[in-house]
Amino acid sequence: MKAAIVTGASSGIGLEISKILISRQYKVYGIGRDFKEINLPAEDFIKVPLDLTKSTELVTKIKEIKNSEEIHILINNAGIGYFGPHEELNPQKIHEMVTVNLETPLVLTQLLLRDLKKFRGYIINISSVTAKKSNTHGCAYGATKAGLSSFSDSLYDEVRKYGVKVITIHPDMTKTNFYRNSAFCEGPSEDTYVKPEEIANAVDFILSQREGMVVSEITLKPQKHQIQKR
């Protein structure tokens, strides 16, 4: 059975992507912190409780998985954001964003790339529309996402000749618990945010393409740009 690894799989976008992959007959190794409310079949969804800021534990676990499974898909979805004037952040918050949003995808890709070459697999990075623009009150977060998108572009040029597909998805504001650390959230109506399942549907679309054709980038935006304060 083909296997996939999804980070941030315990809720939101990662959980919805995991459901899509299961429907496509993949065994999903979902990495996350809290799986209390997850009721997916245990044989299809393997819960991997991990703190992504602990790199040594992550590396050890990924090596265990790859030794027993054929990994065809890596979804780098986990992310964290702290917002506000840059001077009001602290070194711990900056470290956490850089580690989870950028370092972890780089490390996971390095660990799995030989396997993904062997199986002509997929690397799908969930970036952000902030990767493409100036981000006042979100400088550090935007920088990590710009780094992830840049990595995707360069990696695709590096590995495309081996059949590996590298895709970047740039979602705009999405209705998840991502903004729990923020003083703002998505607007009140459905035309002000993207739904997690819509990002999962984009992954399904990517996987539906014929061998030899790659949708290298997708941007998803709501019709209206609107946020509200908490």
Catalytic site includes residue 141: yes
The CA distance from 186 to 192, in Å, is: 7
> How many angstroms separate the CA atoms of 89 and 96, rounded?
11
Q: Kind of pairing, strands 165-171 and 70-76?
A: unpaired
Choose among 154, 151, 149: nearest CA to 131: 149
CA angle 83, 139, 154 (to 5 degrees): 125
**CA–CA distance, 48 with 87 (Å, rounded to integer):** 35
d(C-alpha 193, C-alpha 228), whole Å: 11
User: In DSSP terms, which residues pair with 48 in a beta bridge?
Assistant: 31
Q: How far apart are CA 15 and CA 38, in angstroms?
A: 9
- Given 141, 156, 179, 193, which residue is catalytic? 141
For 28, 59, 78, the CA distances from 9, given in Å and listed in that order, are 9, 17, 8
Closest residue by Cα to residue 104 from 148, 47, 63: 148
Is 37 buried (19+), middle (13-18) or exposed (0-12) by CB count in 10 A? Answer: exposed
Catalytic residue IDs? 141
